[in-house]
Amino acid sequence: MPSHLISSLPDPPATEREHSARVVDAVREEIARSGGWISFAHYMQIVLYAPGLGYYVAGARKFGPAGDFVTAPETTKLFAQALAAQVAPILAVTAAHEIVELGAGSGALAADLLNALAKLDALPSRYAIVEVSPDLRERQRASVARIAPDHAARVEWLDALPAAIDGAVVMNEVLDAIPPHLIVRRNGQWLERGVTCGVSLKWEDRPLDDESMRALAAERFPAAGDYVSEINPAAEALVEDLGRRMTGGAFLVIDYGFPQREYYHPQRSEGTLMGHFRHHAHANPFLWPGLSDLTAHVDFTAIALAGERAGLRVAGYTPQAAFLLACGILNRLRDVGDPSSVAYLRETAAVHKLTSPAEMGELFKVLALAKSDPIEWPGFALADRSHRL
């Protein structure tokens, strides 16, 4: 990352710098225990999820204007209101009539979705949130209690995936935070990029010994040339596991990413890994470990295939803009009230951010994987790009 970009980022306060130093110490200790090198996936797991230290579990504010990034549910409640138009038909065909959300962030989506489903007379029997972060659990409880107090009793928190799921599974910006492996092809040789340390943490590539990972990279990477990109078997395994637990219903994956042919395009030769710190995107995974988020784009083809291996079918795949428009987000905007009011103008700006091709409208995608049939799919009425997966 160019030094002038690093210098342009805000400097964290002393207490946060001290926390980051403890995270770096934990990484160094793990590197030492592992013989001097760990995979990038292992590194990302530590800096994001190590108990008491990782970015998502250590208590720092992540979401919203005071955090490092703003997700769609924090942008406007109209996002959840539009999503409800698709979740309701999923719930309608199930017996248990439940919602399972993974990685619920601030809890805004759960609260707003419950309110929206209540207006559609389609409330779930329960809303289960699978959340590993104690800090985020408390934030989610507070959000639900504040925004949807009439429905808070329906919400429960789980430490692990339920044994069986009959309803709607919702994953909004979850798969991008699952640690991928960084695979390198250089001079015809297959390597894995990992982390070692000297004075500071640094990259080191080592021969790729995992034959299954090498086979996936050989299948997905462009045919020739030096290339670096992500392979994420953990994300694929999660989707497959969820699919095998589903007895009915469907799940919705909302995230930024591409189908495989675009993901591993020859011109995208350095992968998709990026960080987020105080609303600044950056390309340095060693910048303030424990304070900075790390993500990689989603290979939606791989996720769709994982669902199919578990007995699900692809019900739709479309850009977020087309999905939200088809689900009536402009009608929800109209209901805000006076077009000259501050509230309406604020919501208009939020809808623009969610649907503009220059913002989140095109890069973010919605993938539906269904167990039950038939389900009505209003979200894919305007466009369905399943053929591109």
**Helix, strand or coil for residue 294?**
strand
What pLDDT sits at residue 8? 67
**Helix, strand or coil for residue 210?**
coil
> Which residue, 219, 222, 255, is CA-closest to 239?
255
- Would residue 26 count as lying in a domain? no
Alpha helices, DSSP H, located in the chain:
3-8, 14-33, 40-49, 72-75, 78-92, 108-119, 134-147, 211-220, 233-245, 260-263, 300-309, 320-326, 329-334, 342-355
- Would residue 50 count as lying in a domain? no
What pLDDT sits at residue 82? 98
- Would residue 42 count as lying in a domain? no
- Would residue 373 count as lying in a domain? yes
Residue stretches of the chain with pLDDT short of 70 = 1-8, 59-69
For residue 166, the enclosing domain spans 72-178+234-269+296-388
What pLDDT sits at residue 280? 84
- Would residue 376 count as lying in a domain? yes
What pLDDT sits at residue 2? 35
DSSP 105: T
Q: Which helix (H) or strand (E) holds 202?
A: strand 201-207
* Residue 284, token pair as written in the block: 């340095």
| Residue 340 φ then ψ, to 5° | -95, 0
- Would residue 9 count as lying in a domain? no
CATH number of the domain that residue 358 is part of: 3.40.50.12710
> Which residue, 367, 102, 182, is CA-closest to 256?
367
* Residue 233, token pair as written in the block: 């078997």
- Would residue 141 count as lying in a domain? yes
Question: How far apart, in whole angstroms, are the C-alpha atoms of residue 331 and residue 211?
Answer: 51
Q: What is the sign of the dihedral through the CA atoms of 181, 186, 191 and 195? A: negative
Total domains present in the chain: 1
Q: What is the sign of the dihedral through the CA atoms of 122, 124, 129 and 135? A: positive
- Would residue 309 count as lying in a domain? yes
* Cβ count within 10 A of residue 150: 10
**Helix, strand or coil for residue 346?**
helix
Q: Model-level pTM?
A: 0.94
